[in-house]
Chains A and B, each alone.
Chain A
Amino acid sequence: MTTVMVVDDHPIWRDAVARDLADDGFTVVATADGVATARGRAALVHPDVVVMDMSLSDGDGVRATAAVLEVSPGSRILVLSASGEREDVLQAVKAGATGYLVKSASKTELADAVRATAAGRAVFTPSLAGLVLGEYRRLARRSKSGQPALTERETEVLRHVAKGLTAKQIAARLSVSHRTVENHVQATFKKLQLSNRVELTRYAIEHGLDRDG
Protein backbone atom coordinates (compact mmCIF):
# COMPACT_ATOMS: atom_id res chain seq x y z
CA MET A 1 0.00 0.00 0.00
CA THR A 2 1.52 3.31 -1.10
CA THR A 3 1.27 6.13 1.44
CA VAL A 4 0.99 9.69 0.17
CA MET A 5 1.21 13.18 1.68
CA VAL A 6 -0.34 16.10 -0.24
CA VAL A 7 1.29 19.52 0.26
CA ASP A 8 -0.62 22.49 -1.17
CA ASP A 9 -1.63 25.79 0.37
CA HIS A 10 -5.04 25.83 -1.32
CA PRO A 11 -7.54 23.77 0.71
CA ILE A 12 -10.03 23.04 -2.12
CA TRP A 13 -7.32 21.83 -4.45
CA ARG A 14 -5.52 19.92 -1.69
CA ASP A 15 -8.65 18.05 -0.64
CA ALA A 16 -9.61 17.29 -4.24
CA VAL A 17 -6.18 15.80 -4.96
CA ALA A 18 -6.28 13.83 -1.71
CA ARG A 19 -9.73 12.46 -2.56
CA ASP A 20 -8.68 11.50 -6.10
CA LEU A 21 -5.64 9.68 -4.78
CA ALA A 22 -7.76 7.85 -2.18
CA ASP A 23 -10.19 6.81 -4.93
CA ASP A 24 -7.29 5.38 -6.86
CA GLY A 25 -6.30 3.18 -3.95
CA PHE A 26 -3.54 5.24 -2.37
CA THR A 27 -3.47 5.86 1.38
CA VAL A 28 -3.33 9.59 2.01
CA VAL A 29 -1.64 9.68 5.42
CA ALA A 30 -1.27 13.43 5.74
CA THR A 31 -1.87 16.80 4.12
CA ALA A 32 0.02 20.04 4.76
CA ASP A 33 -0.26 23.66 3.67
CA GLY A 34 3.27 24.89 4.24
CA VAL A 35 6.96 24.15 4.71
CA ALA A 36 6.79 23.81 8.49
CA THR A 37 3.73 21.55 8.59
CA ALA A 38 5.07 19.42 5.71
CA ARG A 39 8.33 18.92 7.55
CA GLY A 40 6.64 18.14 10.86
CA ARG A 41 4.19 15.63 9.43
CA ALA A 42 6.72 13.94 7.13
CA ALA A 43 8.92 13.33 10.16
CA LEU A 44 6.01 11.48 11.81
CA VAL A 45 4.43 9.51 8.97
CA HIS A 46 7.35 9.03 6.49
CA PRO A 47 5.14 8.93 3.39
CA ASP A 48 6.28 6.95 0.33
CA VAL A 49 5.35 9.82 -1.98
CA VAL A 50 4.88 13.54 -1.34
CA VAL A 51 2.75 15.42 -3.90
CA MET A 52 4.20 18.92 -3.67
CA ASP A 53 2.89 22.29 -4.81
CA MET A 54 5.42 25.08 -5.43
CA SER A 55 3.66 28.03 -3.77
CA LEU A 56 3.01 27.39 -0.09
CA SER A 57 1.64 29.44 2.77
CA ASP A 58 5.00 30.01 4.48
CA GLY A 59 7.53 29.60 1.69
CA ASP A 60 8.06 27.71 -1.52
CA GLY A 61 8.06 24.08 -2.56
CA VAL A 62 11.83 24.11 -3.03
CA ARG A 63 12.40 24.64 0.69
CA ALA A 64 9.61 22.21 1.52
CA THR A 65 11.22 19.55 -0.72
CA ALA A 66 14.56 19.97 1.03
CA ALA A 67 12.90 20.03 4.48
CA VAL A 68 10.86 16.86 3.88
CA LEU A 69 13.85 14.94 2.49
CA GLU A 70 15.88 16.00 5.49
CA VAL A 71 13.49 14.43 8.00
CA SER A 72 12.28 11.61 5.76
CA PRO A 73 15.05 10.70 3.29
CA GLY A 74 13.09 7.66 2.06
CA SER A 75 10.22 9.76 0.74
CA ARG A 76 10.00 10.60 -2.94
CA ILE A 77 8.81 14.00 -4.08
CA LEU A 78 6.47 14.53 -7.04
CA VAL A 79 6.02 18.20 -7.92
CA LEU A 80 2.44 19.06 -8.94
CA SER A 81 2.48 22.68 -9.91
CA ALA A 82 1.30 25.42 -12.24
CA SER A 83 3.09 25.62 -15.55
CA GLY A 84 4.56 29.08 -15.00
CA GLU A 85 6.83 28.26 -12.06
CA ARG A 86 9.80 27.06 -14.10
CA GLU A 87 12.70 28.25 -11.96
CA ASP A 88 11.06 26.85 -8.81
CA VAL A 89 10.43 23.47 -10.41
CA LEU A 90 14.05 23.25 -11.54
CA GLN A 91 15.28 24.16 -8.06
CA ALA A 92 12.95 21.55 -6.53
CA VAL A 93 14.43 18.91 -8.84
CA LYS A 94 17.92 19.99 -7.81
CA ALA A 95 16.79 19.73 -4.19
CA GLY A 96 15.77 16.13 -4.76
CA ALA A 97 12.30 15.96 -6.33
CA THR A 98 12.07 13.13 -8.85
CA GLY A 99 9.06 14.13 -10.88
CA TYR A 100 7.01 16.99 -12.20
CA LEU A 101 3.41 17.14 -13.32
CA VAL A 102 1.44 20.27 -14.24
CA LYS A 103 -1.83 20.88 -12.41
CA SER A 104 -3.82 20.53 -15.63
CA ALA A 105 -2.90 16.83 -15.70
CA SER A 106 -5.87 14.45 -15.52
CA LYS A 107 -6.77 12.22 -12.58
CA THR A 108 -5.37 9.18 -14.40
CA GLU A 109 -2.11 10.95 -15.22
CA LEU A 110 -1.73 11.93 -11.58
CA ALA A 111 -2.38 8.38 -10.36
CA ASP A 112 0.12 7.00 -12.89
CA ALA A 113 2.70 9.57 -11.85
CA VAL A 114 2.32 8.77 -8.13
CA ARG A 115 2.61 5.07 -8.89
CA ALA A 116 5.76 5.65 -10.97
CA THR A 117 7.26 7.89 -8.29
CA ALA A 118 6.56 5.28 -5.60
CA ALA A 119 8.30 2.68 -7.75
CA GLY A 120 11.38 4.89 -7.91
CA ARG A 121 10.93 5.95 -11.51
CA ALA A 122 11.37 9.57 -12.54
CA VAL A 123 8.24 11.30 -13.80
CA PHE A 124 9.57 13.20 -16.72
CA THR A 125 7.26 15.53 -18.58
CA PRO A 126 8.38 17.38 -21.73
CA SER A 127 8.52 20.71 -19.91
CA LEU A 128 10.71 19.26 -17.16
CA ALA A 129 13.04 17.83 -19.80
CA GLY A 130 13.21 21.34 -21.31
CA LEU A 131 14.16 22.78 -17.91
CA VAL A 132 16.83 20.18 -17.19
CA LEU A 133 18.25 20.50 -20.70
CA GLY A 134 18.32 24.29 -20.32
CA GLU A 135 20.08 24.00 -16.96
CA TYR A 136 22.84 21.78 -18.39
CA ARG A 137 23.30 24.25 -21.24
CA ARG A 138 23.52 27.12 -18.73
CA LEU A 139 26.12 25.22 -16.70
CA ALA A 140 28.07 24.49 -19.89
CA ARG A 141 28.12 28.22 -20.71
CA ARG A 142 29.67 29.01 -17.35
CA SER A 143 32.34 26.49 -18.43
CA LYS A 144 33.79 25.98 -14.97
CA SER A 145 35.53 22.69 -14.43
CA GLY A 146 33.69 20.17 -12.32
CA GLN A 147 30.26 21.08 -13.69
CA PRO A 148 28.08 18.15 -14.59
CA ALA A 149 27.77 17.62 -18.32
CA LEU A 150 25.48 15.49 -20.44
CA THR A 151 26.74 12.73 -22.68
CA GLU A 152 25.70 12.95 -26.30
CA ARG A 153 23.22 10.14 -25.80
CA GLU A 154 21.69 11.78 -22.73
CA THR A 155 21.27 15.05 -24.62
CA GLU A 156 19.56 13.19 -27.41
CA VAL A 157 17.19 11.45 -25.01
CA LEU A 158 16.34 14.67 -23.17
CA ARG A 159 15.60 16.49 -26.42
CA HIS A 160 13.25 13.73 -27.50
CA VAL A 161 11.45 13.81 -24.15
CA ALA A 162 11.18 17.59 -24.34
CA LYS A 163 9.58 17.27 -27.76
CA GLY A 164 6.89 15.03 -26.34
CA LEU A 165 8.07 11.63 -27.53
CA THR A 166 7.22 8.74 -25.23
CA ALA A 167 9.88 6.46 -23.80
CA LYS A 168 8.69 3.76 -26.19
CA GLN A 169 9.02 6.02 -29.23
CA ILE A 170 12.46 7.15 -28.11
CA ALA A 171 13.56 3.56 -27.53
CA ALA A 172 12.43 2.69 -31.05
CA ARG A 173 14.29 5.66 -32.55
CA LEU A 174 17.53 4.96 -30.74
CA SER A 175 17.21 1.17 -31.05
CA VAL A 176 17.62 0.65 -27.31
CA SER A 177 15.32 -0.74 -24.64
CA HIS A 178 12.61 1.21 -22.88
CA ARG A 179 14.50 0.69 -19.63
CA THR A 180 17.71 2.15 -21.05
CA VAL A 181 15.89 5.31 -22.01
CA GLU A 182 14.61 5.66 -18.46
CA ASN A 183 18.07 5.05 -17.05
CA HIS A 184 19.46 7.84 -19.21
CA VAL A 185 16.77 10.19 -17.99
CA GLN A 186 17.40 9.27 -14.33
CA ALA A 187 21.13 9.79 -14.81
CA THR A 188 20.58 13.40 -15.93
CA PHE A 189 18.55 14.00 -12.77
CA LYS A 190 21.02 12.38 -10.42
CA LYS A 191 23.94 14.38 -11.80
CA LEU A 192 22.07 17.65 -11.27
CA GLN A 193 21.11 16.73 -7.71
CA LEU A 194 24.65 15.61 -6.98
CA SER A 195 26.15 18.79 -8.42
CA ASN A 196 23.69 20.76 -6.33
CA ARG A 197 24.98 18.99 -3.23
CA VAL A 198 28.60 19.53 -4.33
CA GLU A 199 27.83 23.21 -4.96
CA LEU A 200 26.25 23.56 -1.51
CA THR A 201 29.24 21.86 0.10
CA ARG A 202 31.69 24.08 -1.79
CA TYR A 203 29.67 27.12 -0.75
CA ALA A 204 29.74 25.96 2.87
CA ILE A 205 33.51 25.44 2.80
CA GLU A 206 34.19 28.76 1.05
CA HIS A 207 32.09 30.61 3.60
CA GLY A 208 33.47 28.75 6.58
CA LEU A 209 30.11 27.19 7.40
CA ASP A 210 31.71 23.78 7.90
CA ARG A 211 33.57 24.95 10.98
CA ASP A 212 31.90 25.46 14.32
CA GLY A 213 31.67 29.02 15.48
Chain B
Amino acid sequence: MSQQHPDPATPLWRAAQVFRLLSVLYALGFQIAVNGDLARPGPAWALFAVLVGWSLAAAVAYLRGFGRRTGWVLAEFAVSIALLFSTRWVAGPAWVADNQSWPTTLWLANAVVSAAILRGPYAGMGAGLAMMGCYALEKGVLEINLGRSAGLVIVLAVGLAVGLAARTARRVQAELDRAAKLTAVAAERERLARQMHDGVIQVLALVARRGREIGGPTAELAELAAGQERALRRFAGTGQFGDPAPAGAELDLRALLDPSAGDRVLLSMPATAVPLPAEVATELAAAVRNALDNVVRHAGPDATAYVLVEDLEDEVTVSIRDDGVGIAPGRLQTARAEGRLGVEKSIVGRLAALSGSARLHSDDDGTEWELTVPRVGRR
Protein backbone atom coordinates (compact mmCIF):
# COMPACT_ATOMS: atom_id res chain seq x y z
CA MET B 1 0.00 0.00 0.00
CA SER B 2 1.31 3.39 -0.95
CA GLN B 3 -0.02 5.31 2.08
CA GLN B 4 1.66 5.50 5.46
CA HIS B 5 -1.59 4.80 7.30
CA PRO B 6 -3.98 2.12 6.26
CA ASP B 7 -6.49 3.86 3.96
CA PRO B 8 -9.50 4.76 6.13
CA ALA B 9 -11.76 3.94 3.15
CA THR B 10 -10.49 0.35 2.97
CA PRO B 11 -13.71 -1.17 4.37
CA LEU B 12 -15.64 0.72 1.67
CA TRP B 13 -13.34 -0.59 -1.06
CA ARG B 14 -13.92 -4.12 0.22
CA ALA B 15 -17.70 -3.70 0.28
CA ALA B 16 -17.58 -2.25 -3.24
CA GLN B 17 -15.87 -5.40 -4.53
CA VAL B 18 -18.65 -7.55 -3.04
CA PHE B 19 -21.08 -5.33 -4.91
CA ARG B 20 -18.95 -5.81 -8.03
CA LEU B 21 -19.17 -9.61 -7.72
CA LEU B 22 -22.96 -9.47 -7.34
CA SER B 23 -23.24 -7.11 -10.33
CA VAL B 24 -21.17 -9.50 -12.47
CA LEU B 25 -23.45 -12.41 -11.48
CA TYR B 26 -26.47 -10.27 -12.36
CA ALA B 27 -24.89 -9.35 -15.71
CA LEU B 28 -24.18 -13.04 -16.37
CA GLY B 29 -27.81 -13.93 -15.72
CA PHE B 30 -28.93 -11.13 -17.99
CA GLN B 31 -26.49 -12.21 -20.70
CA ILE B 32 -27.76 -15.80 -20.62
CA ALA B 33 -31.37 -14.64 -20.71
CA VAL B 34 -31.05 -12.19 -23.58
CA ASN B 35 -28.26 -13.76 -25.65
CA GLY B 36 -30.64 -15.39 -28.07
CA ASP B 37 -32.26 -12.03 -28.87
CA LEU B 38 -28.97 -10.27 -29.66
CA ALA B 39 -27.84 -9.46 -33.23
CA ARG B 40 -24.29 -10.76 -32.61
CA PRO B 41 -24.38 -13.37 -29.81
CA GLY B 42 -20.78 -14.59 -30.41
CA PRO B 43 -19.07 -11.19 -30.00
CA ALA B 44 -21.42 -10.55 -27.09
CA TRP B 45 -19.86 -13.52 -25.22
CA ALA B 46 -16.38 -12.30 -26.14
CA LEU B 47 -17.18 -8.85 -24.78
CA PHE B 48 -18.70 -10.46 -21.68
CA ALA B 49 -15.37 -12.19 -21.15
CA VAL B 50 -13.75 -8.72 -21.27
CA LEU B 51 -16.28 -7.57 -18.65
CA VAL B 52 -15.43 -10.45 -16.31
CA GLY B 53 -11.69 -10.07 -16.88
CA TRP B 54 -11.77 -6.36 -16.18
CA SER B 55 -13.96 -6.85 -13.10
CA LEU B 56 -11.45 -9.33 -11.73
CA ALA B 57 -8.51 -7.00 -12.42
CA ALA B 58 -10.30 -4.03 -10.85
CA ALA B 59 -11.30 -6.07 -7.77
CA VAL B 60 -7.70 -7.17 -7.20
CA ALA B 61 -6.38 -3.64 -7.81
CA TYR B 62 -8.80 -2.03 -5.36
CA LEU B 63 -8.48 -4.74 -2.73
CA ARG B 64 -4.68 -4.72 -2.80
CA GLY B 65 -4.71 -0.92 -2.84
CA PHE B 66 -2.59 -0.16 -5.90
CA GLY B 67 -5.70 0.62 -7.94
CA ARG B 68 -6.95 3.29 -5.56
CA ARG B 69 -5.85 6.20 -7.77
CA THR B 70 -7.41 8.48 -10.35
CA GLY B 71 -5.76 6.63 -13.26
CA TRP B 72 -7.35 3.30 -12.37
CA VAL B 73 -10.79 4.80 -11.76
CA LEU B 74 -10.63 6.64 -15.11
CA ALA B 75 -9.60 3.40 -16.82
CA GLU B 76 -12.52 1.61 -15.19
CA PHE B 77 -14.81 4.38 -16.40
CA ALA B 78 -13.39 4.10 -19.94
CA VAL B 79 -13.88 0.32 -20.05
CA SER B 80 -17.45 0.70 -18.77
CA ILE B 81 -18.29 3.36 -21.37
CA ALA B 82 -16.71 1.29 -24.15
CA LEU B 83 -18.81 -1.75 -23.23
CA LEU B 84 -21.86 0.53 -22.94
CA PHE B 85 -21.27 1.94 -26.44
CA SER B 86 -20.95 -1.59 -27.86
CA THR B 87 -24.61 -2.25 -27.04
CA ARG B 88 -26.06 -0.98 -30.36
CA TRP B 89 -23.50 -2.97 -32.42
CA VAL B 90 -23.96 -6.18 -30.42
CA ALA B 91 -27.70 -6.08 -29.95
CA GLY B 92 -29.14 -4.12 -32.84
CA PRO B 93 -31.23 -0.89 -32.71
CA ALA B 94 -34.59 -2.53 -32.00
CA TRP B 95 -33.30 -4.35 -28.92
CA VAL B 96 -31.66 -1.18 -27.62
CA ALA B 97 -34.91 0.75 -27.68
CA ASP B 98 -36.68 -1.85 -25.49
CA ASN B 99 -33.93 -2.80 -23.06
CA GLN B 100 -31.33 -1.46 -20.68
CA SER B 101 -27.73 -1.29 -21.91
CA TRP B 102 -26.00 -4.57 -22.60
CA PRO B 103 -23.51 -4.62 -19.69
CA THR B 104 -26.45 -3.73 -17.38
CA THR B 105 -26.87 -0.48 -15.46
CA LEU B 106 -26.08 -2.32 -12.21
CA TRP B 107 -22.64 -3.29 -13.48
CA LEU B 108 -22.00 0.23 -14.83
CA ALA B 109 -22.62 1.57 -11.30
CA ASN B 110 -19.27 0.02 -10.23
CA ALA B 111 -17.34 2.82 -11.90
CA VAL B 112 -19.52 5.40 -10.11
CA VAL B 113 -18.93 3.68 -6.75
CA SER B 114 -15.15 3.67 -7.32
CA ALA B 115 -15.13 7.39 -8.21
CA ALA B 116 -17.21 8.18 -5.11
CA ILE B 117 -14.91 6.24 -2.74
CA LEU B 118 -11.77 7.77 -4.26
CA ARG B 119 -12.91 11.39 -4.50
CA GLY B 120 -16.04 11.88 -2.37
CA PRO B 121 -19.71 12.75 -3.00
CA TYR B 122 -19.28 15.38 -5.77
CA ALA B 123 -17.02 13.14 -7.86
CA GLY B 124 -19.47 10.30 -7.24
CA MET B 125 -22.46 12.27 -8.47
CA GLY B 126 -20.44 13.70 -11.38
CA ALA B 127 -19.44 10.20 -12.46
CA GLY B 128 -23.06 9.10 -12.16
CA LEU B 129 -24.24 11.97 -14.34
CA ALA B 130 -21.55 11.29 -16.96
CA MET B 131 -22.35 7.59 -17.00
CA MET B 132 -26.08 8.17 -17.42
CA GLY B 133 -25.35 10.83 -20.10
CA CYS B 134 -23.43 8.25 -22.13
CA TYR B 135 -26.28 5.81 -21.56
CA ALA B 136 -28.77 8.30 -23.02
CA LEU B 137 -26.45 8.98 -25.94
CA GLU B 138 -26.19 5.28 -26.80
CA LYS B 139 -29.89 4.78 -26.45
CA GLY B 140 -30.58 7.91 -28.52
CA VAL B 141 -33.25 9.00 -26.03
CA LEU B 142 -32.91 11.18 -22.97
CA GLU B 143 -35.29 9.64 -20.49
CA ILE B 144 -36.67 12.62 -18.59
CA ASN B 145 -39.53 10.77 -17.01
CA LEU B 146 -37.91 9.72 -13.76
CA GLY B 147 -41.10 7.94 -12.77
CA ARG B 148 -40.60 5.35 -15.53
CA SER B 149 -36.81 5.03 -15.29
CA ALA B 150 -35.22 5.40 -11.90
CA GLY B 151 -31.71 4.52 -13.20
CA LEU B 152 -30.42 8.10 -13.15
CA VAL B 153 -31.73 8.78 -9.65
CA ILE B 154 -30.36 5.52 -8.28
CA VAL B 155 -26.90 6.01 -9.78
CA LEU B 156 -26.77 9.60 -8.51
CA ALA B 157 -27.89 8.46 -5.04
CA VAL B 158 -25.24 5.74 -4.99
CA GLY B 159 -22.55 8.28 -5.93
CA LEU B 160 -23.70 10.65 -3.19
CA ALA B 161 -24.11 8.08 -0.41
CA VAL B 162 -20.87 6.21 -1.03
CA GLY B 163 -19.00 9.49 -1.48
CA LEU B 164 -20.29 10.80 1.86
CA ALA B 165 -19.32 7.58 3.61
CA ALA B 166 -15.78 7.81 2.20
CA ARG B 167 -15.44 11.45 3.21
CA THR B 168 -16.63 10.72 6.77
CA ALA B 169 -14.19 7.84 7.12
CA ARG B 170 -11.29 10.06 6.00
CA ARG B 171 -12.29 12.93 8.34
CA VAL B 172 -12.50 10.62 11.35
CA GLN B 173 -9.08 9.23 10.49
CA ALA B 174 -7.65 12.74 10.10
CA GLU B 175 -8.99 13.74 13.51
CA LEU B 176 -7.53 10.62 15.09
CA ASP B 177 -4.18 11.43 13.47
CA ARG B 178 -4.33 14.98 14.77
CA ALA B 179 -5.13 13.76 18.30
CA ALA B 180 -2.30 11.25 18.17
CA LYS B 181 0.08 13.98 16.98
CA LEU B 182 -0.98 16.29 19.84
CA THR B 183 -0.39 13.51 22.36
CA ALA B 184 3.04 12.86 20.88
CA VAL B 185 3.90 16.57 21.03
CA ALA B 186 2.80 16.74 24.68
CA ALA B 187 4.88 13.67 25.55
CA GLU B 188 7.91 15.12 23.77
CA ARG B 189 7.49 18.43 25.59
CA GLU B 190 7.34 16.56 28.90
CA ARG B 191 10.46 14.62 28.02
CA LEU B 192 12.31 17.84 27.15
CA ALA B 193 11.10 19.44 30.40
CA ARG B 194 12.40 16.45 32.35
CA GLN B 195 15.77 16.72 30.65
CA MET B 196 15.90 20.44 31.31
CA HIS B 197 14.94 19.93 34.95
CA ASP B 198 17.71 17.39 35.24
CA GLY B 199 20.19 19.82 33.75
CA VAL B 200 19.16 22.63 36.09
CA ILE B 201 19.27 20.28 39.07
CA GLN B 202 22.81 19.23 38.20
CA VAL B 203 23.99 22.81 37.85
CA LEU B 204 22.34 23.85 41.11
CA ALA B 205 23.94 20.88 42.86
CA LEU B 206 27.30 21.91 41.45
CA VAL B 207 26.85 25.56 42.51
CA ALA B 208 25.91 24.40 46.01
CA ARG B 209 28.95 22.17 46.23
CA ARG B 210 31.48 24.70 44.93
CA GLY B 211 29.87 27.51 46.93
CA ARG B 212 30.27 25.60 50.19
CA GLU B 213 33.92 24.92 49.40
CA ILE B 214 34.65 28.59 48.71
CA GLY B 215 32.82 29.60 51.89
CA GLY B 216 32.15 33.12 53.16
CA PRO B 217 29.36 35.01 51.40
CA THR B 218 29.41 32.44 48.61
CA ALA B 219 28.23 29.85 51.10
CA GLU B 220 24.97 31.79 51.34
CA LEU B 221 24.54 31.47 47.58
CA ALA B 222 25.33 27.79 47.95
CA GLU B 223 22.52 27.35 50.47
CA LEU B 224 20.09 29.14 48.15
CA ALA B 225 21.13 26.90 45.26
CA ALA B 226 20.85 23.80 47.44
CA GLY B 227 17.35 24.80 48.52
CA GLN B 228 16.24 25.31 44.93
CA GLU B 229 17.85 22.04 43.90
CA ARG B 230 15.84 20.17 46.54
CA ALA B 231 12.63 21.97 45.58
CA LEU B 232 13.08 21.23 41.89
CA ARG B 233 14.05 17.63 42.57
CA ARG B 234 10.90 17.12 44.60
CA PHE B 235 8.83 18.75 41.86
CA ALA B 236 10.45 16.78 39.05
CA GLY B 237 10.46 13.58 41.04
CA THR B 238 6.81 13.50 41.98
CA GLY B 239 5.75 9.91 41.65
CA GLN B 240 9.05 8.90 40.07
CA PHE B 241 9.73 6.02 42.46
CA GLY B 242 7.30 3.88 40.54
CA ASP B 243 5.75 2.11 43.50
CA PRO B 244 2.17 1.07 42.92
CA ALA B 245 -0.30 3.27 44.79
CA PRO B 246 -1.37 1.44 47.94
CA ALA B 247 -4.92 0.18 47.82
CA GLY B 248 -7.69 1.95 49.71
CA ALA B 249 -6.90 4.83 52.00
CA GLU B 250 -3.25 3.93 52.48
CA LEU B 251 -0.34 6.32 52.07
CA ASP B 252 3.36 5.68 51.57
CA LEU B 253 4.99 7.05 54.70
CA ARG B 254 8.17 7.73 52.70
CA ALA B 255 6.37 10.18 50.44
CA LEU B 256 5.18 12.15 53.49
CA LEU B 257 8.68 12.31 54.97
CA ASP B 258 10.58 13.08 51.74
CA PRO B 259 9.92 16.85 51.91
CA SER B 260 11.75 17.00 55.26
CA ALA B 261 15.05 15.90 53.68
CA GLY B 262 17.75 18.54 53.54
CA ASP B 263 21.35 19.33 54.32
CA ARG B 264 20.82 18.74 58.03
CA VAL B 265 18.19 16.01 57.75
CA LEU B 266 19.20 12.65 56.27
CA LEU B 267 16.52 10.08 55.48
CA SER B 268 17.21 6.34 55.53
CA MET B 269 14.30 4.36 54.15
CA PRO B 270 13.51 1.12 52.32
CA ALA B 271 13.48 1.13 48.53
CA THR B 272 9.86 -0.05 48.50
CA ALA B 273 6.74 1.67 49.78
CA VAL B 274 5.87 1.74 53.49
CA PRO B 275 2.07 1.76 53.34
CA LEU B 276 0.03 2.85 56.35
CA PRO B 277 -3.60 3.90 56.73
CA ALA B 278 -3.77 7.55 55.66
CA GLU B 279 -4.58 8.98 59.10
CA VAL B 280 -1.87 6.91 60.80
CA ALA B 281 0.73 7.91 58.18
CA THR B 282 -0.20 11.60 58.46
CA GLU B 283 -0.04 11.63 62.27
CA LEU B 284 3.23 9.68 62.35
CA ALA B 285 4.78 12.06 59.80
CA ALA B 286 3.62 15.03 61.89
CA ALA B 287 5.25 13.52 64.97
CA VAL B 288 8.49 13.05 63.01
CA ARG B 289 8.38 16.72 61.98
CA ASN B 290 7.86 17.71 65.63
CA ALA B 291 10.96 15.75 66.55
CA LEU B 292 12.96 17.34 63.70
CA ASP B 293 11.85 20.82 64.79
CA ASN B 294 13.11 19.93 68.23
CA VAL B 295 16.51 19.03 66.80
CA VAL B 296 16.80 22.41 65.10
CA ARG B 297 15.87 24.17 68.35
CA HIS B 298 17.87 22.24 70.91
CA ALA B 299 20.71 20.27 69.35
CA GLY B 300 22.72 23.22 68.08
CA PRO B 301 23.16 24.72 64.61
CA ASP B 302 25.66 22.13 63.43
CA ALA B 303 23.66 19.08 64.40
CA THR B 304 22.50 16.68 61.74
CA ALA B 305 19.33 14.65 62.15
CA TYR B 306 19.08 11.06 60.87
CA VAL B 307 15.67 9.57 60.25
CA LEU B 308 15.44 5.79 59.85
CA VAL B 309 12.18 4.22 58.66
CA GLU B 310 11.80 0.48 59.20
CA ASP B 311 8.90 -1.65 58.00
CA LEU B 312 8.66 -4.70 60.27
CA GLU B 313 5.38 -5.88 58.77
CA ASP B 314 3.32 -5.87 62.00
CA GLU B 315 4.74 -2.52 63.04
CA VAL B 316 6.50 0.49 61.58
CA THR B 317 9.34 2.15 63.43
CA VAL B 318 10.77 5.60 62.82
CA SER B 319 13.94 6.63 64.65
CA ILE B 320 15.01 10.26 64.72
CA ARG B 321 18.54 10.71 65.97
CA ASP B 322 20.63 13.86 66.11
CA ASP B 323 24.35 14.10 66.66
CA GLY B 324 24.02 17.33 68.65
CA VAL B 325 24.98 18.19 72.20
CA GLY B 326 22.58 15.73 73.78
CA ILE B 327 20.60 16.26 76.91
CA ALA B 328 22.65 16.13 80.09
CA PRO B 329 21.39 13.72 82.73
CA GLY B 330 18.78 15.46 84.84
CA ARG B 331 18.20 18.14 82.23
CA LEU B 332 15.16 16.32 80.95
CA GLN B 333 13.56 16.40 84.37
CA THR B 334 14.42 20.08 84.85
CA ALA B 335 12.97 20.95 81.46
CA ARG B 336 9.89 18.95 82.21
CA ALA B 337 9.48 20.72 85.50
CA GLU B 338 9.82 24.07 83.78
CA GLY B 339 7.13 23.06 81.31
CA ARG B 340 9.51 23.42 78.38
CA LEU B 341 8.84 20.04 76.90
CA GLY B 342 5.73 20.88 74.89
CA VAL B 343 7.16 19.13 71.85
CA GLU B 344 7.83 15.98 73.80
CA LYS B 345 4.25 15.95 75.04
CA SER B 346 2.94 16.47 71.57
CA ILE B 347 4.97 13.58 70.15
CA VAL B 348 4.06 11.18 72.95
CA GLY B 349 0.41 12.23 72.68
CA ARG B 350 0.25 11.66 68.94
CA LEU B 351 1.78 8.20 69.22
CA ALA B 352 -0.47 7.23 72.14
CA ALA B 353 -3.48 8.15 69.99
CA LEU B 354 -2.20 5.71 67.35
CA SER B 355 -1.79 3.00 70.06
CA GLY B 356 1.92 3.26 69.42
CA SER B 357 4.85 4.26 71.57
CA ALA B 358 7.40 7.07 71.65
CA ARG B 359 10.66 6.72 73.55
CA LEU B 360 13.31 9.38 74.06
CA HIS B 361 16.90 8.42 74.69
CA SER B 362 19.91 10.66 75.10
CA ASP B 363 23.63 10.04 75.48
CA ASP B 364 27.04 11.36 74.40
CA ASP B 365 26.35 10.55 70.75
CA GLY B 366 23.19 12.69 70.66
CA THR B 367 19.48 12.34 71.24
CA GLU B 368 17.20 9.72 69.75
CA TRP B 369 13.45 9.36 69.45
CA GLU B 370 12.04 5.96 68.59
CA LEU B 371 8.44 6.06 67.36
CA THR B 372 6.58 2.80 66.79
CA VAL B 373 3.06 2.27 65.46
CA PRO B 374 1.40 -1.15 65.21
CA ARG B 375 -0.16 -2.31 61.97
CA VAL B 376 -3.61 -3.64 62.73
CA GLY B 377 -5.33 -6.32 60.70
CA ARG B 378 -2.72 -6.72 57.98
CA ARG B 379 -2.15 -10.02 56.26
Contact = CB atoms under 8 A, between A and B. Distances in A.
B270 A159 contact: no
Contacts of A157: none
B134 interface: no
B270 A129 contact: no
A165 B266 CA distance: 12
Contact of B308 (A10, A107, A126): A126
A108 B135 CA distance: 96
B241 A135 contact: no
Interface string A1-38: 00000000010110010000000000000000000000
B308 A159 contact: yes
A60 B304 CA distance: 31
Given A107-B213, A169-B365, A138 B270 contact: yes
Interface string A55-82: 1000000000000000000000000001
Contact of B365 (A87, A134, A141, A165): A165
Contact of A126 (B213, B242, B266): B266
Interface in B296-343: 304, 306, 308-313, 319, 321, 323
Contact of B306 (A87, A141, A164): A164
B271 A104 contact: no
Interface in A77-134: 82-84, 86-87, 89-90, 103-104, 106-107, 126-127, 129-131, 133-134
A162 B306 CA distance: 8
Given A104-B209, A106-B212, A164 B323 contact: yes
Contacts of A127: 266-269
Nearest to A108: B213
Contact of A162 (B261, B308, B323, B368): B308
Nearest to B194: A55
A104 B205 contact: yes
B143 interface: no
A153 interface: no
Interface string A129-153: 1110111011001000000000000
A134 B206 contact: no
Contact of B241 (A84, A106, A141): A84
Main secondary structure of the interface of B (DSSP, over half): mixed
Given A126-B306, A130-B308, A164-B306, A103 B205 contact: yes
Given A12-B203, A87-B241, A137-B310, A55 B271 contact: no
B270 A163 contact: no
Main secondary structure of the interface of A (DSSP, over half): helix
Contacts of A87: 241-242, 271-272
B271 A90 contact: yes
B271 A12 contact: no
Contacts of B311: 134, 137-138
Interface string B183-216: 0000000000000001101110110111011000
A16 B209 CA distance: 10
A70 to B, nearest CB: 23
Contacts of B233: 82-84
Given A137-B312, A163-B321, A130 B205 contact: no
B237 interface: yes
Nearest to B274: A134
Contacts of A134: 269-272, 309-311
Given A107-B209, A137-B310, A137-B311, A164 B266 contact: yes
B2 interface: no
B263 interface: yes
Given A86-B269, A104-B226, A130-B267, A163 B312 contact: no
Contacts of B313: 137, 141
Contacts of B242: 87
Given A127-B268, A162-B268, A82 B312 contact: no
B218 to A, nearest CB: 14
A90 B226 CA distance: 25
B240 interface: yes
B270 A13 contact: no
Interface in A162-179: 162-165, 169
A129 B266 CA distance: 12
A87 B273 CA distance: 10
Nearest to B304: A164
Contact of B198 (A55, A90, A106, A165): A55
A159 B258 CA distance: 19
10 contacts: A82-B233, A84-B233, A86-B241, A104-B263, A107-B213, A133-B310, A134-B270, A138-B311, A159-B308, A162-B308
Given A84-B233, A104-B205, A162-B306, 8 more contacts: A86-B269, A87-B241, A104-B208, A126-B268, A130-B309, A131-B268, A131-B269, A135-B270
Interface of A: 10, 12-13, 16, 55, 82-84, 86-87, 89-90, 103-104, 106-107, 126-127, 129-131, 133-135, 137-138, 141, 159, 162-165, 169
